[in-house]
């Protein structure tokens, strides 16, 4: 059961990545103005909004696993004083 869950998570993350790449592609088309070669304005806006909505849906379905927070480097404390030898 655990293996199936892990496999589903892996596949879902791939679909999420695909949706994000598609969204990024449309954003780049918009930034560069190349969208004018392929779409009319209304069609392009419709496709862009759909790509954004799908990427947002996949972000909810398959959230990225948060990487472990970096361990903070503990403040360097001066070394504890060594015990002094007892006077003889």
pLDDT in tens, 26-40: 999 999 999 999 999
* Angle of CA points 64, 15, 46, to nearest 5°: 105
Q: How confident is the model at residue 4 (pLDDT cuts 50, 70, 90)?
A: confident
pLDDT band at 86 (very low <50, low <70, confident <90, very high): low
pLDDT greater than 90 at residue 88: no
């Amino acid at each position: 059961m655990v293996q199936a869950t892990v496999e589903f998570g892996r596949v879902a993350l791939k679909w999420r990545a695909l949706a994000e790449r598609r969204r990024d592609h449309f954003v780049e088309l918009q930034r560069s103005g190349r969208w004018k070669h392929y779409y009319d304005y209304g069609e392009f806006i419709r496709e862009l909004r759909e790509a954004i909505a799908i990427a947002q849906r996949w972000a909810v379905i398959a959230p990225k696993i948060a990487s472990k927070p970096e361990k903070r480097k503990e403040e360097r404390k001066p070394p504890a004083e060594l015990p002094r030898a007892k006077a003889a």
